[in-house]
Amino acid sequence: MNLETILATVVADAVKTIYSLEIAAEQIQLQKTKKEFEGELTVVIFPFVKASRKSPEQTGQEIGEYLQKNNQLISSFNVIRGFLNLSISKSYWLETLNTIHTSKQFGITTPTADAELMMIEYSSPNTNKPLHLGHVRNNLLGHSIAEIQKANGWKVIKTNIVNDRGIHICKSMLAWKLFGNGETPESSGLKGDHLVGKYYVIFDKAFKAEIKEMIENGLSEEEAKKSAPLILAAQQMLLDWENNDPEVRHLWETMNAWVYAGFDVTYKQMGVDFDKIYYESETYLEGKTEVERGVDMGIFNQRTDGSVWADLTADGLDEKLLLRADGTSVYMTQDIGTAKLRYVDYPINKMVYVVGNEQNYHFQVLSILLDKLGFEWGKSLVHFSYGMVELPEGKMKSREGTVVDADDLMDEMIESARETSQELGKLDNCTAEEIERIVRMVGLGALKYFILKVDPRKSMTFNPKESIDFNGNTGPFIQYTHARIKSVLRKALEQGIDFTNLSDTQLTISDKENYLIQLITEFPGVVRLSGEEFSPALIANYIYDLVKEYNQFYHDFTILKEENQNLKQFRLVLSETTASIIKTGMLLLGIEVPERM
């Protein structure tokens, strides 16, 4: 039973005894006491005034006096207008710390055998280019949200839909066929996804050159874009692919294999994984079947040119293309097919799509279309819409080759961590093997934390230099604090100090130490709220607040040199519990913390 529940019960009993007012504990209004007032929890008094027939101040005073006299949990109180601020006894906080310290998974709810299943889709890359900074935010958010939901008792399936077909894929294939001269990842020394991305850029440059020449010869820009030889060839290649042309299919399989090998390296470096991967090439036909069923049902319209549309004007939207005139499908078609296959494969209770906010309209339409097709889960899908990420220099464009490659970014972060750590002397006592492990941990931790600490629904600017700072709200600051605590604990063990639990829970501790315990107790609530709001930022910023508070404690109080043995033991227990929550919380963000630095 948590503190709020206990307090609500004793307040309800007090009100019944003093005023003969029957009130359920759930109806007692409790809130955290404002920082400018003394106390930890505040009771709203106004609901009791009618029964007491006294002013809110007098009513609060009577209830406060009763609680302090009859319950050891309350050490003191004060009344501000209609609010009763309660101070909880420090012995309660010490006993709570002892319980938390011996708890193996404080704040984590392990899924039971009959737990509900949540499927979370993230990453969703195209096989015509490598992963970039935008994908990094997507993958980090998706992976962290999955871990947080597992910590809230959900069974979770992490899934990925690979967009491995379509006109954009054909552009890379055509450019390689025309300009590649048989180049391979082995012959070029490039990762496969980088090599294919190179030809996507080459296509765009050649296409623009064709358009420019056609405009100079008298065509309008729109006419040039539609009739340029390269785009016509790419469109024909897509038709050939859908018609299972052996040569086109072989090239597609070869180049996709290069990309998948490259993706695997990137995912491993990033620390993300998937339980199930779907491929658009395997789901789009299912989508086409569903669209054709929709035509037969009369909910979709087939025009004279053969294209299929959904008229959503009655839903306050517009008309949506589902099949092109040539019979080729669009993203929406594929998403309908993928959604159906997922519900066939798994008993999903909640489906979550981690996709940027530029796709808000797409998922609004998808939900309506699935519902119209008779899938009862259509309306309940969740589009976790997150903001875009940019660099200080501005936006990125894949076609123009101006994106920040995910592999390059991670490598640069690791090197920045190495340079910064060496400058600050953080790695002076580490072996070469430890240095490599730590700089990787710190570099990737800096990247992940900087991205995840921001409210995911907001757009953000990623500043690599700022993220690697060992001070302030950064991953390295938190990681260094964890290493510092572990160093203190190792020294305590070397000195034979026992801190398995507290020997004295009636110990006199400072307000700062007491507040740190209170902050520790908030961790389960933060994990729960983070799951409800799909926001890793809540955990990231809670961990930062905890670390900041611990560092102030570390600066103001001695630990190993404390002469009072019970106080020394308490501070070691407090330190170890803090380190445990830092590690648990950071792992929910996909971030490792070092044992030493």
The Cβ of residue 463 has, within 10 Å, a number of other Cβ atoms equal to 12
Which residue type is seen at 332?
Answer: M
Q: What's the rounded Cα separation, in Å, for the pair 476 and 180?
A: 43
Task: Report the interhelical angle of 229-242 vs 167-179 (nearest 10°).
Answer: 110
Residue 112 placed within a domain: no
Please tell me whether residue 557 adopts helix, strand or coil conformation.
coil
Please tell me whether residue 262 adopts helix, strand or coil conformation.
helix
The confidence score (pLDDT) of residue 397 equals: 46
Instruction: Clarify whether residues 179 and 288 are in a common domain.
Output: yes
Domain of 201, in residue numbers: 122-390
Final residue of a domain: which of 348, 363, 390?
390
Q: What's the rounded Cα separation, in Å, for the pair 476 and 468?
A: 6
The confidence score (pLDDT) of residue 377 equals: 85
The confidence score (pLDDT) of residue 127 equals: 96
> Taking CA 558 as the corner, what is the angle to CA 557 and CA 560, rounded to the nearest 5 degrees?
150
Q: What is the pLDDT along the chain (597 residues), one digit of tens a residue?
A: 689 999 999 999 999 999 999 999 999 999 999 989 999 999 999 999 999 999 999 999 999 999 999 999 999 999 999 999 999 999 999 999 999 999 989 999 999 999 999 999 999 999 999 999 999 999 999 999 999 999 999 999 999 999 999 899 999 999 999 999 999 999 999 999 999 999 999 999 999 999 999 999 999 999 999 999 999 999 999 999 989 999 999 999 999 999 999 999 999 999 999 999 999 999 999 999 999 999 999 999 999 999 999 999 999 999 999 999 988 888 899 999 999 999 999 999 999 999 999 999 999 999 999 999 999 888 889 999 999 988 776 544 444 445 789 999 999 999 999 998 888 887 887 888 989 999 999 999 999 999 999 999 999 999 888 999 888 999 999 999 999 999 999 999 999 999 999 999 999 999 999 999 999 999 999 999 999 999 999 999 999 999 999 999 999 999 999 999 999 999 999 999 999 999 999 999 999 999 988
Q: Which two tokens stand for residue 379?
A: 């309306």
Please tell me whether residue 42 adopts helix, strand or coil conformation.
strand
Report the number of distinct structural domains present in the chain.
3
Please tell me whether residue 381 adopts helix, strand or coil conformation.
coil
Residue 109 placed within a domain: no
The confidence score (pLDDT) of residue 464 equals: 87
Please tell me whether residue 460 adopts helix, strand or coil conformation.
strand
> From the CA atom positions of the chain, what is the Rg in Å?
30
| CATH of residue 58 | 3.30.1360.70
Q: What's the rounded Cα separation, in Å, for the pair 531 and 12?
A: 31
The set of residues, in sequence order, having a beta carbon less than 8 Å from that of 523 and lying 6+ positions away, is 106, 107, 542, 581, 584, 585
Instruction: Clarify whether residues 372 and 457 are in a common domain.
Output: no
Closest residue by Cα to residue 553 from 572, 526, 580: 572
Instruction: Clarify whether residues 190 and 319 are in a common domain.
Output: yes
Instruction: Clarify whether residues 380 and 413 are in a common domain.
Output: no
Residue 98 placed within a domain: no
CA dihedral sign, ordered 551, 552, 553, 557 = positive
Q: Which two tokens stand for residue 287?
A: 């989508």
Q: Which two tokens stand for residue 473?
A: 């709200």
Please tell me whether residue 536 adopts helix, strand or coil conformation.
helix
C-alpha separations of 159 from 285, 345, 352, 364, 417 in Å: 19, 12, 10, 20, 31
Closest residue by Cα to residue 389 from 305, 464, 291, 499: 464
Instruction: Clarify whether residues 44 and 79 are in a common domain.
Output: yes
| CATH of residue 343 | 3.40.50.620
Instruction: Clarify whether residues 43 and 152 are in a common domain.
Output: no
Q: What's the rounded Cα separation, in Å, for the pair 487 and 394?
A: 42
CA dihedral sign, ordered 106, 107, 108, 112 = positive
| 304: DSSP letter | T
Q: What is the pTM of this model?
A: 0.91
Residue 362 placed within a domain: yes
Instruction: Clarify whether residues 486 and 346 are in a common domain.
Output: no
Q: What's the rounded Cα separation, in Å, for the pair 371 and 377?
A: 7
Residue 133 placed within a domain: yes
Residue 162 placed within a domain: yes
Residue 398 placed within a domain: no
Which residue type is seen at 16?
Answer: K
| 81: DSSP letter | T
Instruction: Clarify whether residues 231 and 363 are in a common domain.
Output: yes
Residue 117 placed within a domain: no
| CATH of residue 412 | 1.10.730.10
Instruction: Clarify whether residues 325 and 451 are in a common domain.
Output: no
| 106: DSSP letter | T
Please tell me whether residue 55 adopts helix, strand or coil conformation.
coil
Instruction: Clarify whether residues 277 and 224 are in a common domain.
Output: yes
CA dihedral sign, ordered 188, 193, 197, 200 = positive
Pairing label, strands 276-279, 350-356: unpaired
The confidence score (pLDDT) of residue 425 equals: 83
Q: What's the rounded Cα separation, in Å, for the pair 463 and 454?
A: 12
Q: What's the rounded Cα separation, in Å, for the pair 295 and 302?
A: 7
Instruction: Clarify whether residues 423 and 351 are in a common domain.
Output: no
The confidence score (pLDDT) of residue 402 equals: 55
Q: What's the rounded Cα separation, in Å, for the pair 75 and 97?
A: 18
Using CB atoms within 10 Å of the CB of residue 442, give its burial: 0 to 12 exposed, 13 to 18 middle, 19+ buried: buried
Q: What's the rounded Cα separation, in Å, for the pair 176 and 173?
A: 5
* Torsion angle of C-alpha atoms 278, 298, 241, 132, degrees rounded to 10: -40
Greatest CA span in the chain, whole angstroms?
Answer: 95
Instruction: Clarify whether residues 199 and 326 are in a common domain.
Output: yes
Final residue of a domain: which of 42, 67, 88?
88
- E strands of 29-88, at which residues? 30-32, 41-44, 74-80, 83-88
> Taking CA 218 as the corner, what is the angle to CA 215 and CA 221, rounded to the nearest 5 degrees?
35
Final residue of a domain: which of 357, 390, 423?
390
